[in-house]
Chain A
Amino acid sequence: MTTLPTSTSGSLWRQRRGLILAYLLVAPPLLLMVLLIFVPAIQSIARTLTTDTTGEAGLSFSRYIAFFQDPISVSNLVFTFQVVFVTLLVIFIVCFPLAIYLRFAQGRIAGAVQILVLFPLFVPGIILCYALIRFLGTRGTLETVLSIFGFMDYSTPYLKPSAIIIGLVWESIPFTVLVLTAGLRQISDSLIESARDVGANDLTIFRRIILPLITRPVLIAFSLNFLGIFGAYTVPYLLGPAAPQMMGVFMQQTFGQYRRPDEAETQAVITFLICSVVGLLYVRTVASQRIQQEDAE
């Protein structure tokens, strides 16, 4: 075979043309990501490793050692983890019943609950924070109402960690319920009915049928909420205590108020690395879902 038949070379050309078009379509967002995210990120990481705390050049971990030796930095990092952990816990405790209700209930009340659940989506974070201050703060709505009923020992969560958690939970409810409800809707009624048919009660159905079938939506909600909460700024800044601080507030303060860009950069890299581990979990979850869908097709 010395010459290819013309039809084959024609289809080869068509294939190649399709490929070029695909690359052209992907190029702009890819370029933007490389130029605006990857390059600065790698530069930052490189800088934190190639200059030490005194500004001298040379490979050195001294900036990271300084971070982990500084009690305030460490306590802020630990505090961030604690807030993330408790907030995620509360989010799932609140959102699971809501999602299950919305999946199985019918009628007007379910429709109203659906709208209420989505409502926080339409409220900007800063407005939410001031609303919460008015509601939860000293001499706020809640304290006034409680005092009417004779409850006088109200202690406001405002400027305490619990206020951050309340704010972040409120912000995360719509997204989490949406993801969980979408996952639950993938489970057909007959799967649940056949479990009930062979003798399973509600709790068994939830544990043995529903939970295993929505691990993927749960992982997606977990990872995306984790990323959002770990880097949160507005809510912890306006509602939280002055110390300890969450990483978002801490970075901003180090950079803007204390004017220590090098330290802020180190804090940013640490935050970035922690978040990228969770980001990887998210990417793997979504990828495995796509592979399974393609298998099913």
Chain B
Amino acid sequence: MAKLDIVQLTKRFGSVTAVSEASFTVQDSEFMCILGPSGCGKSTLLRMIAGFESATGGDMQIDGESITELPANKRPTAMVFQKYTLWPHMTVYDNIAFGLGLRHLPRATIEKKVHDSLDLVSLSGYEKRFPAQLSGGQQQRVALARAIVLEPKILLLDEPFSSLDAILRVRLREELKRIQRRLKITAIFVTHDQEEALSLADRIAVMNSGRIEQLDHPSTIYANPETLFVADFIGAMNLLKANAQGSSLRVGSKTLPLPDGSIVNGETTIALRPEDLVLVSDTYTGAGEIWKANVDQIMDLGHYRKVLVDVPDVGELKIFIAKSAHINEGDTISLVPARYLVYGQHGSPIEVNRLARPDSQAVQ
């Protein structure tokens, strides 16, 4: 139950800037994800909050009090690490009780807290096991229990599920979210997995080369990525080079409209979500531009299909279509770019909506 303020936080290793003037606030009981490719500085940022790295500049405050100068063992934070997190010579019970023991709590209290926390992560009865006798998923659940049992003001998680297999990862993710909601704990979760971030977070901070490029709700980040990097990194996206002249965009030999009064000119990039390329019948005469496309490859992904198509003069695009649509590899189909974002050299992207999407044909 706490609020965390990060103010102009910077970390430099020699001449390399790992984190550059990060500023944001994590609200009480908020679940924040820091998302970015490896080497973007997200782990360094988290380790500064935990106290394992000293900050080169800036400040960190929990409920208004600076923690920047506190050593890691005095900070009201608790961290779940990526792997090798449990002490192998201690039982599950001792692992969880270790931090409580350091606080000189009475034995009965410790016992109750350990049992409650194991109950929370559905591992009751595992008290006497050693870490080597647990599966990877169970080990990470114990690590979570060990962090939560101390009732930290901020819970920090550094890619805690990334060494687990896909199915387990999704299960633990759901479990973590349930626990976080139940305890109303403020949490920061670092990951390079956008699906993990989108499904867990109240808000996502997307990081790239030490900078936070965008911080917003998952749906906003998905629908309105602020920068080209975010557009490319989050979700599937088609990026097309284009040339803006007045109120039109030239993409190869095709033309797309720009809203009146747009200030972009010259080199631009169009970002098109696969689900925003809408499949229409050959006799379609509605709004929008119709692009003829050749179907190169169809990948069945269960409840929908991912299709690679070639639009002559524009290039290869990926689209998502419903299973019910009857298309085969080699067919020629008609597509309408329903919604796209235009990124100029500077400033925010311009959003263009060409039609209210015929939902029966588009699958998200």
The residues of A with any CB-CB pair to B shorter than 8 Å are: 188, 190-191, 193-201, 204, 208-209, 212-213, 295-296
Contacts and interface: CB of A to CB of B under 8 A. Distances in A.
Interface string B82-123: 111101110000000011001100000000000000000000
Given A198-B78, A198-B146, 14 more contacts: A191-B85, A193-B50, A193-B52, A194-B79, A195-B98, A196-B52, A196-B72, A197-B73, A197-B77, A198-B150, A199-B73, A200-B99, A213-B87, A213-B88
Contacts of A209: 87
B81 interface: yes
B84 A188 contact: yes
A162 to B, nearest CB: 37
A94 B83 CA distance: 33
Interface residues of B, number: 27
B76 to A, nearest CB: 10
B89 A212 contact: yes
Given A197-B50, A198-B102, A190 B83 contact: yes
Given A204-B102, A208-B98, A194 B85 contact: yes
12 contacts: A194-B81, A194-B146, A195-B87, A196-B51, A196-B72, A197-B52, A197-B79, A198-B102, A200-B98, A209-B87, A213-B89, A296-B132
Nearest to A202: B73
A226 to B, nearest CB: 24
A108 to B, nearest CB: 14
A198 B81 contact: no
Contact of A193 (B72, B88, B89, B132): B72
A295 B72 CA distance: 34
Interface in B137-178: 143, 146-147, 150
Contacts of A200: 73, 98-99, 102
B38 to A, nearest CB: 17
Contacts of A295: 132
Contacts of B150: 198-199
A193 B81 contact: yes
A195 B147 CA distance: 11
Contacts of B74: 199
Interface string B59-78: 00000000000011110011
Given A197-B77, A197-B79, A295-B132, A191 B87 contact: yes
A199 B103 contact: yes
Contacts of A208: 98
A296 B88 CA distance: 12
Nearest to B75: A197
Nearest to B150: A198
Contacts of A212: 89
A212 B89 CA distance: 7
B142 to A, nearest CB: 11
- Which of B51, B82, B102, B143: most chain A Cβ within 10 A? B102
A195 B134 CA distance: 20
Contacts of B102: 198-200, 204
Interface string B35-53: 0000000000000001110
B72 A197 contact: yes
A160 B150 CA distance: 56
Contacts of A193: 50, 52, 72, 79, 81
Contact of A201 (B52, B73, B98, B146): B73
- Which of A198, A200, A208: most chain B Cβ within 10 A? A198
Nearest to B88: A213
B91 to A, nearest CB: 13
A190 B85 contact: yes
Contacts of B50: 193, 197
A197 B89 contact: no
Nearest to A201: B73
Interface string B258-291: 0000000000000000000000000000000000
A115 to B, nearest CB: 24
A201 B72 CA distance: 9
Task: Pick the 3 closest A-B CB pairs, nearest first.
Answer: A198-B99, A190-B81, A188-B84
A208 B52 CA distance: 20
B350 to A, nearest CB: 45
A296 B79 CA distance: 26
A212 B98 CA distance: 14
Nearest to B77: A197
Nearest to A205: B73
A225 B237 CA distance: 64
A197 B102 CA distance: 12
B99 A191 contact: no
A195 B78 CA distance: 10
Contacts of B103: 199
B132 A197 contact: no
A214 B148 CA distance: 28
Contacts of A201: 73
A14 to B, nearest CB: 35
Nearest to B74: A199
Nearest to B156: A197
- Which of A190, A191, A199, A208: most chain B Cβ within 10 A? A199
Nearest to A211: B89
Contacts of B147: 197-198
Contacts of B71: 196
Contact of B73 (A196, A213, A296): A196
